[in-house]
Amino acid sequence: MSSRAGLLGCAVLSAIVLALNVGMVAWASNCPPSEDNTKILYDGSCSTSAKANIAAHAAINVLSTLLLGASNYSMQIAMAPSRADVDKAHSKRRALTIGVPTLKNFRNISILRRLCWELLALSSIPLHLVYNSSILATKVATEYLVTELDESFLQTGISIELPGLSSTTVGQSGVMAGTGYTEVKALFDRILREAHAWENLTLEQCAQSYTPFLLNSRRTLVLVTPSTNDHRALPGLFRMVGSKTWMCDDRTSISPDKLDADGSAAFPCSPKRAIFGYRDHDTNWQEPSNPIYCLAEPHRQKCTVEAFRPFLIVISVFNAIKFVSILWLYFNSSTRHSKLHTLGDAVVSFLNHPDDSTKNLCALDKVPLEKKWRTRSSVVTVRWTRRSQRRADAISGIQCIVSIIMFLIAICGIIILLGKALSADNARGTLQSAFRPSSFTSNQNLAIVGFESLQNATLTGLVVLVNIPQLVFSVFYVFYNSLLSIFLQASEWNAFSLVCGYSVPLLLFSTSIHFLISQAIFLSRISFLDFLGRPSQRFGALGYGNMYGAHPGQLLAATYFSPAILAVLVLSITAFLALLFIGSKKLPGNMVMAAGSSAVIAAACHQRDSGPRTVLEQDSEGNHGDEAATKALKWGDVGYVLQIEEDVVYRHLQFSTRDVMEPSEGAEYA
Ligand SMILES: *[C@@H]1O[C@H](CO)[C@@H](O)[C@H](O)[C@H]1NC(C)=O
Ligand SMILES: *[C@@H]1O[C@H](CO)[C@@H](O)[C@H](O)[C@H]1NC(C)=O
Ligand SMILES: *[C@@H]1O[C@H](CO)[C@@H](O)[C@H](O)[C@H]1NC(C)=O
Ligand SMILES: *[C@@H]1O[C@H](CO)[C@@H](O)[C@H](O)[C@H]1NC(C)=O
């Protein structure tokens, strides 16, 4: 495919993505707004909203991959030098880089192409930063009333007396300020009327259902105690609670309901049975009774999927910038001055039009040709020494060490984050449940980054925080990709046959890491409801309500998910090991090291064998490397003695369609 057709394809692709993004903006504009001006795309059951959220992010993933891929392809085309660029640089005795992504050519391409390249590069940053956060799912955490009741209430219903329910006991039960006796009394009346029809759970099932922090399908809980005739104390213990700590035993802890910095109860326990624990609650604490089963009020929480319209607009604007840049590149890529994208392109071009400035340099590697090379008139021969190199030799030793250190630092960073996440999970007691397969699609997990320290962070701050890992990964990926291209190009040059099977796994790798990162740390909105479904205003393990913010009962938070961090770690280490493995492979053949240097390629294309000038002759000027033709080429000593001067015999190394010999050790070449 020619680069022009490629650019047209990219322009069409980015136009399609643009249309979808603008459509998204339009759709969101017609959706009902939430309190703080996000648009509510979906409002309904929590499990559906969790799935819709994952689907929306997968769609975003595909769109952004397409868009960034089109942008990347166009950037490479913008940066690839044309033959005219190469000739100009060679006339100043400088080599350009061909076939591998690099910034080296930057100063040697036209200003407008450079501008397009820069626009394409810069417009990727906002996309990386906000695309994933333009849509978010709201989670709901609810407080609930838990009470002990004598089984006989099931028969008597509303007519049973509850002498233990007074404004004093209600005041001590953790009810939020402003909720009075009447509301609690009304709730108890509802229990007496309706609880017989609620879900009947064993104490074990009950403890399990009420352990997660985000209760989605149940609310009020009755611990049914054996029937007695003594109703003086009814109801038994009752509490408004926001976490499982009411089931924990601890008589020594002074303020057991405090939250730690991660938003988990500072007081970890994993209750097995739903029964009030012995706690150091308050002065009027009474002995818990022994319930026999529990009745749980079925309750459908409403969760939402919301869109931030300003983010969608930002995305559309930068998408449009990409579209225009790609279109400009398309209209300005003339068919005559075609670019040298690959080794094949360059070889064809130099074979058809040999480059005078690199005559007699056929035995030099990339490195000596990085410096300005000497003038043509003085021929200096090179004594051949056998080349036995690894792919990684295509980069300098320092580059190699710096790259390894950078990758190791990145991997250590992920390990540290994973360690922190796991220890916070452990403190919260959710370590095991987080790693169950079902946890990937449920939204029962709530692991907040910096619960207290980030409490007053702004929306933009949180969005940037959760998306910085994406940006960091993208930078590493570009770096990884260019190293890999260099290694693969090195073996392509040596084998002189084309390798292309690697780009699909690479694309899959990048897409899945982006997706996993978006599942590892992400933005969530959590609504905290009190036991009656109003915004909660309490703070602490009795109620998570954020009572300080502008929206009581709501928290916008950066949340994380440890298994996804683990998956990112495993994938990154695999990728790093793969790179080491690929780089350390021995290169076949005994050949000069080109590493994309236009000078080395040009020098190998001077035809000194007197045979026909290869089939490539028919390839009209500037057309792309004919793969079949370049594949038929071999590089080596064509056996022609070129020049005899003061007893020295020079031989020549070149590409040829004929049989060639390996360069002989110790012979002089030029
Ligand atoms: C290419 O870049 C070099 C600096 O690396 C500069 O000196 C030279 O003028 C540039 N050549 C062209 C043709 O722009
Ligand atoms: C997250 O954003 C990146 C761009 O930085 C994108 O490549 C990736 O596909 C997105 N992932 C999801 C799940 O949205
Ligand atoms: C709940 O189940 C227990 C036994 O599993 C049973 O004894 C009890 O009567 C049931 N209660 C109601 C209200 O269905
Ligand atoms: C850019 O595109 C090339 C193919 O044109 C591909 O090999 C490479 O992986 C892409 N790089 C990035 C950063 O997506």
Look at 162-171, 201-210, 257-266, 467-476 and tell me which has the smallest mean pLDDT. 257-266
Q: Taking 60 as the threshold, does the pLDDT of residue 544 lie above it? A: no
Angle at 431 between CA 425 and CA 437, to 5 degrees: 125
Nearest ligand for residue 196 CA:
3
297 band by pLDDT with thresholds 50, 70 and 90:
very high
Segment 595-652, tens digit of pLDDT: 778 888 887 777 776 544 444 443 444 444 454 455 567 777 777 776 656 666 777 7
Segment 243-295, tens digit of pLDDT: 777 887 766 654 545 544 444 555 667 788 888 887 655 555 677 888 999 99
> Is the distance from the beta carbon of residue 132 to the nearest atom of ligand 2 less than 6 Å?
yes
pLDDT score at 135? 87
> Is the distance from the beta carbon of residue 76 to the nearest atom of ligand 4 less than 6 Å?
yes
Q: Taking 90 as the threshold, does the pLDDT of residue 320 lie above it? A: yes
Question: Cα 148 to chain center, whole Å?
Answer: 48
More confident residue, 629 or 370: 370
Compute, in angstroms, the gap from residue 510 CA to the centroid of ligand 4: 10
More confident residue, 388 or 258: 388
Alpha-carbon distance of 99 to 116, in angstroms, equals 19
pLDDT score at 644? 59
Mutate-to-test residue for ligand 3 from 149, 152, 200, 205, highest number of ligand atoms within 8 A of CB: 200
Ligand 4, atom 5, lies closest to the CA of 73
Ligand 3, atom 2, lies closest to the CA of 200
**415 contacts: CB under 8 Å, gap ≥ 6:** 569
Q: Scanning the structure block, which residue is given the tokens 């099932």?
A: 205
- Report percent pLDDT > 90 for the chain: 14
Q: How far is CA 155 from CA 193, 194, 227, 647, in A?
A: 10, 12, 11, 120
Q: Taking 90 as the threshold, does the pLDDT of residue 666 lie above it? A: no
Is the separation of the CB atoms in 79 and 105 below 8 Å? yes
Q: Taking 70 as the threshold, does the pLDDT of residue 552 lie above it? A: no
> Is the distance from the beta carbon of residue 73 to the nearest atom of ligand 4 less than 6 Å?
yes
Look at 60-69, 231-240, 278-287 and tell me which has the smallest mean pLDDT. 278-287
Between helices 309-332 and 46-79, what is the axis angle to 10°? 30
Which atom of ligand 2 is nearest to 60's Cα?
14
Alpha-carbon distance of 412 to 528, in angstroms, equals 36
Segment 402-451, tens digit of pLDDT: 889 999 999 999 998 888 888 877 766 667 777 777 666 555 556 666 65
Alpha-carbon distance of 563 to 425, in angstroms, equals 11
What's the number of CA atoms in the CB half-sphere (13 Å) around residue 26? 6
Alpha-carbon distance of 510 to 504, in angstroms, equals 10
Is the separation of the CB atoms in 78 and 326 below 8 Å? no
**558 contacts: CB under 8 Å, gap ≥ 6:** 448, 449, 450, 454, 457, 462, 465, 466, 521, 522, 523
pTM of the model: 0.69
Alpha-carbon distance of 288 to 279, in angstroms, equals 10
Q: Taking 90 as the threshold, does the pLDDT of residue 326 lie above it? A: yes
Most confident region among 67-71, 339-343, 454-458, 654-658 by mean pLDDT: 67-71
Which atom of ligand 4 is nearest to 474's Cα?
13
Nearest ligand for residue 3 CA:
4
Ligand 2, atom 4, lies closest to the CA of 128
3-state secondary structure at position 489: helix
Ligand 3, atom 14, lies closest to the CA of 200
Closest CA to 655 of 388, 383, 373, 343: 343
Nearest ligand for residue 87 CA:
1
Compute, in angstroms, the gap from residue 81 CA to the centroid of ligand 2: 31
More confident residue, 546 or 667: 667
Mean confidence (pLDDT) of the chain? 78
| Beta strand ranges found along 341-496 (DSSP E) | 382-383
Q: Taking 80 as the threshold, does the pLDDT of residue 238 lie above it? A: yes
Q: Which amino acid is at 270?
A: S
Compute, in angstroms, the gap from residue 205 CA to the centroid of ligand 3: 13
pLDDT score at 457? 66
Length of the chain: 670
Q: Taking 70 as the threshold, does the pLDDT of residue 99 lie above it? A: yes
Closest CA to 639 of 616, 617, 610, 612: 610
455 band by pLDDT with thresholds 50, 70 and 90:
low
- Give the mean pLDDT of 499-506: 63
> Is the distance from the beta carbon of residue 227 to the nearest atom of ligand 3 less than 6 Å?
no
| Residue ranges around ligand 1 (CB below 6 Å) | 88-89, 92, 94, 107-108
Segment 117-126, tens digit of pLDDT: 889 989 988 8
pLDDT score at 621? 41
By the 10 Å C-beta count (0-12 exposed, 13-18 middle, 19+ buried), 583 is classed as buried
pLDDT score at 260? 46
> Is the distance from the beta carbon of residue 74 to the nearest atom of ligand 4 less than 6 Å?
no
**DSSP string covering 581-615:** HHHHSBPPS-----TTBHHHHHHTT---S-S---G
Helices (H), 210-308: none
**DSSP string covering 294-339:** EEEEE---EEEEEE-HHHHHHHHHHHHHHHHHHHHHHHHS-SSS-B
- Give the mean pLDDT of 152-170: 82
- Give the mean pLDDT of 23-32: 92
Segment 626-637, tens digit of pLDDT: 544 555 677 777
> Is the distance from the beta carbon of residue 151 to the nearest atom of ligand 3 less than 6 Å?
no
- Report percent pLDDT > 70 for the chain: 79
Walk across the sheet containing 668-669 and list its strands: 382-383, 668-669, 648-656, 634-645
- Give the mean pLDDT of 135-146: 84
Angle at 44 between CA 42 and CA 50, to 5 degrees: 75
Look at 63-77, 206-220, 380-394 and tell me which has the smallest mean pLDDT. 380-394
> Is the distance from the beta carbon of residue 653 to the nearest atom of ligand 2 less than 6 Å?
no
Closest CA to 202 of 228, 223, 226: 223
pLDDT score at 223? 93
pLDDT score at 324? 94
Compute, in angstroms, the gap from residue 75 CA to the centroid of ligand 2: 19
Mutate-to-test residue for ligand 2 from 131, 136, 314, highest number of ligand atoms within 8 A of CB: 131
3-state secondary structure at position 654: strand
Q: Which amino acid is at 297?
A: E
Strand 302-307 to 39-45 pairing: antiparallel
Q: Taking 90 as the threshold, does the pLDDT of residue 573 lie above it? A: yes
